[in-house]
Structure formats: structure tokens, C-alpha cells
Structure 1
Amino acid sequence: MDQTKLLSRLLPTVLFIVFVAFVLFLLPRVEAITLDYIGGMFARSVTSEMFVGSLRSFAAYLFPVLKIIFWMSLVIAIVRLLTMVILATVLRSVAQSEIVSLTRTVVSVLIYITAFFVIFQSHFPNVELAAIFTGSTIVGIVVGLALQDTLGNFFSGVALQADHPFQVGDVISVSNRATGVVESVTWRGIKIRTFQDKLVIISNSVVGKEVIEVAPKDNLNARLVFFNTEYGFSPSRTAKLVREAVRNVPNVSGLKRPIVRVRNLGDNGLDWEVKYWCEDYRRHNDTDALIRQTIWY
């Protein structure tokens, strides 16, 4: 992220933090003035004592609630500001952007929950939050059961991101599911673009249970192409001619020499295999077809 874009994102957050801090500075003074005014209403015989008492009770709860809201807004803004700065500086070289984003989200939520407990208890010390959360245990169980699949995908996504078995651009084959190029990896699932140009979305909980074959995009991945010849052709001459022809096919890596060898002695001739290495494994189907065509001619 360049400096101009970073500053354009940081400036509104900084202005919001300054505004909230200014409001928090004024709130105690506004609260004192308001309570004094309400107390003076009865002294001036403007209204009844019961009405004044109700107003004071309302104000006594209103201002702490407003303080909690503004304090939480301040905490959220500061956390977002820090995460933006950290991601733009310290974590710029981290390749696993998904796990960085996931870690940022989890840490932020933990900070928000802790801050809420501290702020709430400081303004309402007589309210037992533990009792409130204990009373909602049944609701939590119901919600947990309802979110079972979502939580399964979440934790499977954490495991995948931590292990990082593949990345965007790799060709993967998920057994009995799909084969194609990885387009995105999130905490919910992976998107695979098949070689028929279809988009397959597989949840992380399913991926975690399957066998995955990975062809990394920055690796020389090998392929096998098969053909056969009659017994009348010289094996050594056939291997030499095919090897030289395959080396000139586009997308065949020149860093490794193609291997041409007899795979089997068939009933009507020799069965051969050609092993070559792809520069771009995403184009291996076209390369296989071109090699077969080259061998034929």
C-alpha cells in the first residue's frame, strides 16, 4: 500500500478519534450541568418532585450509556488505526495474507470484548455481567448448534491457512471433487476454476477431509504422455527423435531433459511414455495435446 493511499485511509480514522475524544472530554461536564439543572427544577417549583426524580434517574442511566458507546467507538477506531498501520508496515512482506487477516480479526474481537467488559463494569459496577451471560447459556448452545458447519469451516480454514498447503494460482486436485486452478482461499472455503472454465466452491471442512494433490505454480511439475510404435521401429532412434521433438514444444521446460522410455511390450508394438516438465502447469492439457501431435507427425 503506497503512502498516499495509506494516508487517505488513516486521516478519517484519526479525525474520528479526535472527535470522540473531544466528546468524552465534554460529557462529564454536560452531565454535571444537566443534573444540576434538573435538581434546580424542583427548587424553582417548575414541576413535581416525582417528575424531577424520574428525570434524574433517566439522566443517571443515559450518560453512562453514552459514555460506554463513545468509549467503545474510541477503542474500535484505535484498534482499526493500529491494524492499518501494522499491516502497511510490519506485515507487508507476509505472503499469507489470509491468515494475517484472520489473525487481525480474531485479535480485534478479543480486544473489543475485553474493552466492553472493562468499560461497562467501570460505569455500572453493581451489574453482574457474569450472571447475564450465564443466564444465556441455553441460547449460546442453540446458536452453537446452528453455527456448527460455519464454525467447522472457520477452524478448518485456520488450519489450512496455518499449514498453507497451496496458494492462489496453484493447480490442485481434490479427490472426487474437482481439479483446477485455485482462485481464492478464505476462512469459509476455496474457489477452484476447472479446466472447463467452471467455478467450483468447496468448503474448508470438506477440503480438510480429502486427499489433495498440489502442483505449485512456482515449481516445475512433471507430466506423462503415452504413445506406441510398431516393433519394426528402432527403440533407440525413436527415443532420440521424440526427445528432440518434445524439447522444442512450447511450455516444455528447458531446465530438465525430457525422458522417453519403453513402458510396456504390447501385443502389437512398444508402449512408450514421455516424461516432461511444464513451465506453466495451468496449460498442461494444451501441452499434452501438442506433444501428441508433434510425435504423430
Structure 2
Amino acid sequence: MPKSVPKFSRPQTSTCLGSHLNIKSGGIIGLLLGLLLPQRYVELEVWPRSEEYTWDQPLIQVRGSDPGSWHNWYRRLNDFLRVYETSIPEEPPRAPCSVHNRRDQHLRSDQCDMAMRLWAPCTADEFYGYARGKPCIFLRLSHIHYWVPEPYNMTSSLPIPPDMPPHIREAMRLRPAHQYGDFIWVTCDGEFSADKENIGPIQYIPAEYPPGFPLSRLHTADRIPYSARNMPDQVPGPLVAVYFENPRRGVVINVECRIWTRDIFYDPKSRYGRARFELFVE
């Protein structure tokens, strides 16, 4: 299958290069810029990450009975989630609002307490599941400043792909786009057939909300001014946590997560809208 390229909103560039430049030289300059400028693509980030993180082999290894094996992941998740700390979380909360374990007796607002319950067990209170060998993985979209997504929903006349999981179809039915807005849907599963058998049941957290990213909270190209498209978001993007309830112990499980939109077609050889990691619970 050929690698797909998502649709981006490209800025308009001037074609006037001055009277001293001809069309040929302008074409050469355009080619050089195309080769030198970094490519932008929709990335599905996976957290936590190790210091030696690589996209091809991001291993998350944990032994629940040994705090030394999972405390580093706990610390890395706290560092990652610190920018989401707030005493007044949004509704629904875009992330856990505190990185302090309740045993620390850290004061929280009533709104934050409620948000933490919505994100359980993927919170610092539960050590993000790592202490029990049932880890939580957080997902976030990045490189979306030049992207205008085309989400799947039941109100469109375009067909739904036959391989879309039933729980996504059910979420679209229960939360129609004309009432609740569009979502960039996300799913995770074993990458290969053996992994599908070993991965065990998973939950998407917060469990009370659809498994995906609300389009209204994503700073895509149609939602930000042109001048801001090369600047980092002032507000961190929403998260989805994946809770592994009972992964098989003692084997490496290859996990693949992906987003579902009409403009990004699934390709196991592409990184567009797709993430993978290896999970090993001893």
C-alpha cells in the first residue's frame, strides 16, 4: 500500500522573486527549500518515554512488585503531566489535574478531586497503574498546526471503514457530531496476531467519554491564525490514556495505536497518525 500523506493547509507563498531572477532560478530555490525544511506530519505521541526513546523500539518494562522497576516511569509521567496541573480543570478535564499522590496530603480543589476520579486509575493516586503491573499509557497528537482533519461521524454521507472497531461506531452513535462535536478517534491493539492474544482487555480513560480527541480542543490550521502556525501551543493538547487491565506477563507485547480520520489512511509502514511501543510486564 502506498504511503499516504495527510491533507495540510499550506501557506500562500509569493511567486515574485524580482526582475533579476528568472523562472529557472526560482524553481531551483523552491526545490532547495523543499529539501531543507523539516517535514511536518501528524504524530501520535506516546508517554512515558525513556531517555533513549526511539519510534521503532520504545520499550516500557515494569515489574509491579518492585518499586525500583516502575518508579522511573511514575516520575517521567509526573514530569510530563506537570503542565496540566490546575485547581480548576475544564469540563471534561483534558488530563489529570494533579501529579501529587493523595498520600502526600496535597490540597486539591473539589473540581480537581472530581477530575482525578474521572481519570482513575491513570492518576498519581494509583501510580498510573504501574505498581500493580497494569500500566497506563498516555497519547497526545502533535504536529497538527498545518492539518485540517476530516473526522469520521455518523452525520456524513461518506462510508465508515469496515475495519473500524465496534466501540468507535457505538461512540459515534451515542455522541453524534451535531450535538457533541467531532472527535479524532483513537484505538490501540496488539500489532501482530500473537500480541492481540497477549494484550488483554484495555480501557480508554476517561472511561465516561469517547475514546478520542475532541476536535474543538485541537489547534489545527483552521482554528489558529496563520502567524501562529509555527509557534508552540500556549495550551497543551488533550490526552487519552490507555489502561492495560491484564497484559500477559513475561512476554513482550507489541502495541499499535492509531487515529481514525478520513484524510489519513492507515499504513503499517507509515508514522502518520500512528504510534507503536513494546510493553513487557514481568
Q: Place the TM-score, normalised by the shorter chain, in its bin.
A: under 0.3
Write 1 or 2 for the structure with the bigger share of helix. 1
TM-score in terms of structure 1 length = 0.17
Looking at both structures, which has the greater relative contact order when contacts are Cα pairs under 8 Å and sequence separation is at least 6? 2
Q: Which TM-score applies when normalising by structure 2? A: 0.18
Q: Which protein shows a greater Rg?
A: 1
